[in-house]
């Protein structure tokens, strides 16, 4: 197995560390948000052992990359426009956006990601440390805000609402907000089957919790959405024209971890994802979701007056 494939093979819901130890109750956990570890510490721990730079370069990560790129190119205002890439990680999307002519500022709380993004940018875009819940931006100063990561690392709904409000506040009237999430069915349950982990009692119990609550103690730094829940969170943040897309489509689990960009299976599965997007029933089968909405064209002052 290549190191890339080993990286991709890391389970989002990991196998239990000690055999026989009961890590999760049989019944769905009620998320105790005051017990959820602080995001920066749990994030740093997770990303210390995980090569985020390589995640989208092979296997189903390539399908996620291509579909994200295609959907953003379809919906973003034309370049040059100001794009705030919040949770931009090591800069994979910021790089092609800058090459397309966008004026990109990447923010991420993990310092190693900011350092890698800065190196990758080579002057094409700027990367700084920052948190989605407190954007250091004047209101209405960007054309588009991307949240391709923060929402699935914020298990507390109040934190997700704050992050979405900050995105809406930062975007100009009529601006675009694009939000990625991990699907409960695709990214939680199907992923456990794909990795042949569902027979492990702790994983089975964690999948049960993810399907019922969106959260599991086995993967405390993650939150998993249903498509309806994600759409409702954007609408509650006053975003308009909200549509939730399935990113990798219903066949993503058939892509081998070692598949490269010239493997036909990657193109075929991405093509099916595009076709299946017309059917709302298949959206949750994708590993990742991408919700896109717009701020009111009359601006937040008008919204408050309603």
Contacting range for ligand SAM; rule: CB under 6 A; set: 11-19, 22-30, 127-135, 265-273: 127-135
Give min distance, CB of 18 to ligand SAM, in A.
Answer: 27
Give min distance, CB of 119 to ligand SAM, in A.
Answer: 15
Q: How far apart are CA 219 and CA 138, in angstroms?
A: 35
Give min distance, CB of 110 to ligand SAM, in A.
Answer: 4
Give min distance, CB of 151 to ligand SAM, in A.
Answer: 8
Q: How far apart are CA 221 and CA 237, in angstroms?
A: 23
86 lies in the binding site for ligand SAM (CB under 6 A): yes
Dump the DSSP string for 121-154.
HTTSSEEEE-BTTB----TT-EEEEEESSGGGG-
Conformation bin of residue 196: beta by default, left when phi > 0, alpha when psi is -120 to 50: left
Of residues 54 through 73, those in contact with ligand SAM by CB under 6 A are: 56
Of residues 141 through 200, those in contact with ligand SAM by CB under 6 A are: 148-150, 153-154
Of 92 and 255, the one with the shorter C-beta distance to ligand SAM is: 92
Helix segments in 123-237, DSSP class H: 157-170, 191-194, 201-213, 227-236
Q: What is the DSSP code (8-state) at residue 243?
A: E
Beta strand 171-183 pairing with 240-246: unpaired
Contacting range for ligand SAM; rule: CB under 6 A; set: 128-136, 188-196, 201-209, 245-253: 128-136
Instruction: Please pick, from the candidates 13, 36, 52, 54, the single residue that binds ligand SAM as defined by CB under 6 A.
Output: 52
Sign of CA dihedral 75, 81, 84, 88: positive
Of residues 218 through 257, those in contact with ligand SAM by CB under 6 A are: none
Give min distance, CB of 288 to ligand SAM, in A.
Answer: 9
Instruction: Please pick, from the candidates 54, 59, 88, 155, the single residue that binds ligand SAM as defined by CB under 6 A.
Output: 88
Residue nearest ligand SAM (C-beta atom)? 149
Sign of CA dihedral 114, 117, 123, 127: negative
Give min distance, CB of 109 to ligand SAM, in A.
Answer: 5
134: Cβ contacts below 8 Å, ≥ 6 apart: 162, 166
Please report, as ranges, the residues that interact with ligand SAM according to CB under 6 A: 39, 43, 52, 56, 86-89, 92-93, 108-110, 113, 131-133, 148-150, 153-154
């Amino acid at each position: 197995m290549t190191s890339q494939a080993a990286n991709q093979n890391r389970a989002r819901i990991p196998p239990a560390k000690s055999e026989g130890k009961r890590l999760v109750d049989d019944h769905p956990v009620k998320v105790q948000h005051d017990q959820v570890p602080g995001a920066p510490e749990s994030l740093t721990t997770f990303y210390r052992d995980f090569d985020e730079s390589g995640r989208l370069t092979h296997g189903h990560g390539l399908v996620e990359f291509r579909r994200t790129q295609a959907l953003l190119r379809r919906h973003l205002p034309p370049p040059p426009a100001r794009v705030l890439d919040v949770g931009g990680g090591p800069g994979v999307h910021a790089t092609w956006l800058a090459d397309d002519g966008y004026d990109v500022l990447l923010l991420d709380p993990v310092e190693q990601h900011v350092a890698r993004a800065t190196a990758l940018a080579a002057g094409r875009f700027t990367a700084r440390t920052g948190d989605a819940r407190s954007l250091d931006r004047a209101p209405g100063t960007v054309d588009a805000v991307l949240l391709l990561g923060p929402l699935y690392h914020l298990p507390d709904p109040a934190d997700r609402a704050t992050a979405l409000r900050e995105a809406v506040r930062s975007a100009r009237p009529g601006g675009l907000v694009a939000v990625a999430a991990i699907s409960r069915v695709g990214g939680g349950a199907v992923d456990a089957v794909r990795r042949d982990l569902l027979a492990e009692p702790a994983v089975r119990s964690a999948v049960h919790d993810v399907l019922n609550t969106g959260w599991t103690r086995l993967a405390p730094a993650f939150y998993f959405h249903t498509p309806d829940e994600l759409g409702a969170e954007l609408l509650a943040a006053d975003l308009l024209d909200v549509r939730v897309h399935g990113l990798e489509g219903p066949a993503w689990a058939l892509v081998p971890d070692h598949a490269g960009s010239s493997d036909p299976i990657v193109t075929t599965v991405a093509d099916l994802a595009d076709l299946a997007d017309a059917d709302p029933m298949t959206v949750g089968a994708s590993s990742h979701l991408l919700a896109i909405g717009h701020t009111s064209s009359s601006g937040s002052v008008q919204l408050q007056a309603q």
